[in-house]
Structure 1
Amino acid sequence: MRLVSEERPQQAGTVASIALLLFGGLSAFALVVWFRTSAEPLSWKAMLTGVVALGSFGASAMLWTSPKRVAAVLGLVLMLASLARVGAPADWTGYSFVLVAITAVLMMPVVHAALVLRSS
């Protein structure tokens, strides 16, 4: 029987924390751009983006200080919730495809951390 070392989960938590930090930063940047360019800046999409950005920073801090599965799952829920602002596939633009692709790429280390980290 092969035992999993403590180093691998710690490393997965660190990489997931960095991915969530980057995701939160990109979400905050998207929110700033949205406020500058949109005719109606205050909408449910802007509120969702703000909540996702703040939540991503929080989940990243949780994973950085004490990597646990719960923080990785919280990060995944936030990342999946952020995809609600994209809308139906019939309404997608080039930016929508970029947003989905970036979210999918940044979600990979968070999924890995959710699989290898301990729940307690």
Structure 2
Amino acid sequence: MSKYLILIFQDEAAAQPSGDSVSANYRAFMEKHAGALRGGVALENPATATSIRRDESGESIVTDGPFAESKEALGGTFLIEAADLDEALAIAREVPAGIGVEVRPVRVVS
């Protein structure tokens, strides 16, 4: 079995306000795929981000806001375990995301 990260993208303007509740759609998705889920997080609004960049000399520059400006924002992730990419994509197709998702294999580092 391999691990995959599902990156959930949403329209930044439609981002949900902070809160502890999980929508019924996401709750149903998590219950259906409980056997494959290894973790997941919902992220706060991109306006709450702080970015660290390095300048040409290698010095760190800290700024308020997301690393990349975009209409689409990373809203959260799910870490899943699947037999192969096809199975991971089948699970990812069911994520109730507004814009869409990206599926990436997790690299095994030794």
Instruction: Return the TM-score normalized by structure 1.
Output: 0.30
Instruction: Return the TM-score normalized by structure 2.
Output: 0.32
Larger relative helix fraction = 1
